[in-house]
Structure 1
Amino acid sequence: MKALVYGGGQLARMMYLAGCPLGIHVRAVDVNKDQVINPISKTPAKVTLAEAVDDADVITVEFEHVPEHLLKLADETGKLKPGITAIRAGADRVKEKNLLASLDIPTSEFRVMSNVSELPEIVEQLGTPLVLKASRDGYDGYGQWRLKDKSDISELSLALSKLDLHTVPIIVEKMINFSREVSLVGVRSQTGEFAFYPLVENHHHEGQLHLTIAPAPQITENLQAQAENIFKKLAEELDYVGVLAVEFFQVEEQLLVNEIAPRVHNSGHWTMQGADTCQFENHLRAVCGLPLGSTELRSATAMVNIIGCGSFSRDMLAIPGCHIHWYGKTARAKRKLGHFNVSASDKATLSSRLLELQKHLPEESFPLLKSLAENLQ
């Protein structure tokens, strides 16, 4: 089988690697150039985009911000999985919020702002503190602002006045006093079968995911069931095929959706060592019409992102259960260059292995690792 992936980053790379044992040949598309590339070497393929689209059995995406002309091209073939509606919802917070509202799925109270003059009235309606998010193209903390008090309205309005809010509106959300962020990665097959990985706990620094713990500590059956029911609502409404990630804020025993990602997801990288079938293989199985793989947990696992730091020894590979996944990128600030997966039979052993990992890494690039490892004990 042949799969074409829109996007040429690390997620396409990992889909390629997962596809090889299955006999699925994966090509990628540099969506900035409309150019077909090898997902590993990034070298141009000797085929045109039109030829690759025609040759593919299935077309999928590694990220949701795909140019509209490419989405339409794939959609017209009938090969695009997940479908265009799901991808558009993941790319546009207005569409995403409206989808959640239409399904009565709990999320933060919000307003859509298309003119900065609307901000004072929205503040009166929602109160403070507020978080403001660009409806498109914002990720890893970019395209976000905070409003802590009404006295900050003038300063924030001045900053936002430089933006074209008619083209890219802003979602203004009431800030939620949540205890933690968790996420659910699941998969739906072409025949409507579901499979779910356990809820995981995510930890961010400066707007970027730095570390994921799987399974999330102290997850009740009620929380897992809430997450799976919300996933099913979304997937059935969208006639979804493939892996979908749903991020939640936990407030006591309730989960509120923060956002959805219609693709394989950073918080699911732990599955490469920690689950029977990784998210990349399960995504390919789903979109190619193959039986889904087991999502059974193999071991407690922590995924640690390598961000902006390309210079360290590999001595940590002597730690039992420690695996490195390198993406082959040039280092620069805030760029995800790879990740570690560290697995263990129990949380106490996982804690000790993460503390050992921390000794091999510069603290400034891994600021959360030591404290989170100690908290697992």
Structure 2
Amino acid sequence: MRVVVYGAGQLAQMMYLAGSPLGIEVQAVDVNSDSVVHPVSKSTLDTTLAQAIEDADALTVEFEHVPERLLEEAAKTNKLMPNIDSILVGADRVREKKLLESMQVANCEHKIVTDLSQLDDCVKQLGSKLILKASRDGYDGYGQWRLTDEAELPALKRSLQGLDLVTVPLVVEKMVAFDRELSLIGVRNADGDVRTYPLAENLHHQGQLHVSVAPATNVDDALQAQAHDIFVKLADGMDYVGVLAVELFQVGNKLLVNELAPRVHNSGHWSQSGAVTSQFENHLRAVCGLPLGDTSAIGPSAMVNIIGCSSFSRDLLSIDGSHLHWYGKSVREKRKMGHINVTTNNYESLGEKLMALSNYLPLEYFPKLVGEATRLKG
């Protein structure tokens, strides 16, 4: 079987590595040049994009910002999974909010802004503590602004004056006093079979995910069931095929959807060593029409992102249960260079292993690690 992935980054690479034992060949598309490349070496393959599409059993994406012309061509083949509408929802926050509202899925109270003059009404209706998000091309904290006091509004308007809000509107959200950030990774196949992974707890710094712990601590059956029900409603409603990530805010016993990612997701990387079947393998199973794999956790796991640095000791592999995943990129500020998965059999041990991990890393690049290790150790 052959799967063509639009996008040639680390997610395509990890899909390739997951597909190889199943006999699934994964090719990647460099969407900047329309060339077909090897997902690991990035070398150009001796095939055209048109030929690769024709030879593929399934087409999929590793990120939602694939040029729409490519998605439209892929959709015509009836091989694109998830479907084009689901991918476009992930690429546009306005579409995302409309989807959540149409399905009556709880999310953050918000307004859509196409003119800066509308911000005054946003403050009146939502309050003076707001998060403003560009509806397109914003990720990892980019394309976001905050208002914490109404007195800051004139300065905020001035800083936004150069934006074309008719073309790219703002989604203005009421700032939620959430207890923590969680995410649910789930998978659905074309027959409507669904599997969801345990909820993961996510720790962010400057808008970027730094550490995920799964299963999240202090999650009862009711909270996990609530997350599962949200996933099923969304995945069935979109006729979704593949892995879908649902980012959530926990407020008391209630979950609010923050964002959707129609693809394998950073907060699911722990599943590579911490679940019976990884998110990457399950995505390929879904799009290839194979039975879905067990999503149960093997034990408590943590995923630690390596961001903006390459100077750390590979001796971290001396920690039992640790696994390094390196993406082979050139170093750049705020760039995800790789990640470390750590898996063990209880949370106290996980905290101890994360503390041991801190001895091999330049901690200025890992601001959430020691605090989370301390919390888990108890």
TM-score normalised per structure 2: 0.99
**Higher alpha-carbon deviation: 118-127 or 192-201:** 118-127
Secondary structure (helix, strand or coil) at the match of 2:349 reads helix
Confirm whether residue 366 of structure 1 aligns to residue 376 of structure 2. no
Give the whole-Å Cα distance in 1 for the aligned partners of 2:147 and 2:305.
29
* SS of corresponding position for 2:76: helix
Report 1:196-207 matches (<5 A).
196-207=196-207
Write out per-residue CA displacement over residues 270-318 of structure 1, whole angstroms, 9 at most, x where no aligned residue.
0000000000000000000000011111111000000011011211111
Q: Secondary structure at the match of 1:364?
A: helix
Count of aligned positions: 377
Structure-to-structure mapping, 1:7-18, within 5 angstroms: 7-18=7-18
Q: 2:326 matched to 1:326?
A: yes
Which residue is 1:338 aligned to? Answer: 338
Q: Trace 1:50-199 onto structure 2 (pairs within 5 A).
A: 50-199=50-199
Q: Runs of at least 4 residues of structure 1 off by over 6 A?
A: none
Superposed, 1:251-266 pairs within 5 Å as 251-266=251-266
Distance 2:122 2:313 in 1: 51
- Rounded Cα–Cα distance in structure 1 between residues aligned with 2:40 and 2:314: 21
Deviations 1:74-97 (A, max 9, x none): 000000000011001011000000
What is the rounded CA distance, in whole Å, between the counterparts of 2:190 and 2:269 in structure 1? Answer: 23
Structure 1 residue 173, shift from structure 2 partner = 0.3
Native 8 Å contact 2:311 2:362 kept in 1: no
Q: 1:190-269 alignment to 2 at 5 Å?
A: 190-269=190-269
Inter-partner Cα distance in structure 1 for 2:109 and 2:304: 32
Letter in structure 2 aligned against 1:327: Y
The residue type paired with residue 135 of structure 2 is S
Q: What amino acid is aligned across from residue 332 of structure 2 in structure 1?
A: R
Q: Secondary structure at the match of 2:222?
A: helix
Number of the residue aligned with 1:32:
32
CA distance in 2 between partners of 1:294 and 1:108 (Å) = 32
DSSP 3-state at the match of 2:97:
helix
Of all paired residues, the percent bearing the same amino acid is: 59
Q: Which amino acid aligns with 2:37?
A: I
- Segments of 5+ residues of structure 1 without an aligned counterpart are none
Q: CA RMSD in A?
A: 0.6
Q: CA deviation at 1:190?
A: 1.4
The alpha-carbon deviation at position 55 of structure 1 amounts to 1.1
Deviations 1:27-81 (A, max 9, x none): 0001111111110011111111111111111000000011010000000000000
The DSSP-based 3-state class of the residue aligned with 1:359 is helix
Contact 2:2 / 2:24 at 8 angstroms: preserved in 1? yes
Question: 2:280 aligned with 1:277, yes or no?
Answer: no
- State the SS of the aligned residue for 2:155: helix
Deviation at 1:351, TM superposition (A): 0.7
Normalising by the residue count of structure 1, what TM-score does the alignment of the two structures yield? 0.99
For residues 313 and 349 of structure 1, the distance between their equivalents in structure 2, rounded to whole angstroms, comes to 21
Separation of aligned partners in 1, 2:313 and 2:255 = 40
Q: Matches of 1:370 and 1:138 in 2, distance apart?
A: 29
Distance 2:312 2:125 in 1: 50
Matches of 1:117 and 1:55, distance apart in 2 = 52
Measure the CA separation in 1 of the matches of 2:318 and 2:334.
27
